[in-house]
Amino acid sequence: MGDFLLRYIGPVLMVLAGLYATYSHGVKVTNSEWQAKWNAHLAEDATKTAQAQAEQRAIETARQHSIDKVTQDAQQAIDRAHADAADAAALAGSVQQAADRLAARLADSQARVSACTTDASKAASKDARLLADVLKRADSRAGHLAGVADQAIERGRACERAYDAVRASDDRSSAGDER
C-alpha cells in the first residue's frame, strides 16, 4: 500500500502544488494591476484637486483685490466727507460768530433806545441771545449729523460696490465653468 500511495498521491500533490503556485501568481499579478490603476486614479485626483484649488485661489484673490479697491475708494470718499465737514464747521463757526455779533448789536441798540424801555430791551436782548444760541446749537448739530450721514452713505455705497464686485466675479467664474 505504501507503494500505491507514492505512485498516485505523489503526482497528485505535485499537480496541486503547481495549481496553487499558479493561482498565487495570478492573485499577485491582479493585485499589482489594480494597485497600479488605483495609484493612477489617486494621482489624477491629486492633480485635479491642485488645479481646482489654484482656480479657487485665483477667484478669491480677484475678489479680494476688488474689495480692497472698493475699500480704498470708500476711505478716500470718507476722508473727503471729513474734510467737507471740517470746512462746513469752519463756515458754521463764522456764521455763529456773526449771529453772536448781531445779537450783541441788537441788544446794544435796544439798550440805547430809552431808559423807559430798559426792561423791554433787556427781554428783547435775552431773546436775541437765546435765538442766537439756539441757531448755533442747531447749526452745530446739523453739521455733525450731515457728517455722519455722509459717512453712512459712503459706507453703504462701498458695501454695494463690494457686493457687486463679488457677484461679478461669481458670474465670470460660473461662465468659465460652463465652457
Annotated domain spans of the chain: 2-178
Per-residue confidence (pLDDT) for residue 47, from 0 to 100? 96
Contacts of 146 (CB under 8 A, 6+ apart): 85, 88
What are the phi and psi torsion angles at 117 (to 5°)? Answer: -100, 25
Give the type of residue at 166: V
d(CA 156, CA 74): 9
Per-residue confidence (pLDDT) for residue 121, from 0 to 100? 58
Q: Are 128 and 63 in contact (CB under 8 A)?
A: no
| Strands, E assignment, 50-112 | none
Give me the residue label for grid cell 431773546: 127
Per-residue confidence (pLDDT) for residue 50, from 0 to 100? 95
d(CA 30, CA 146): 80
d(CA 135, CA 141): 10
Ordered per-residue pLDDT tens for the chain, 179 residues = 567 667 788 788 888 999 999 999 999 999 999 999 999 999 999 999 999 999 999 888 988 898 898 889 888 988 888 888 788 777 777 777 777 777 777 666 666 665 555 555 566 667 777 777 787 788 788 888 888 888 888 888 888 888 888 888 777 766 665 54
d(CA 39, CA 16): 34
d(CA 71, CA 81): 15
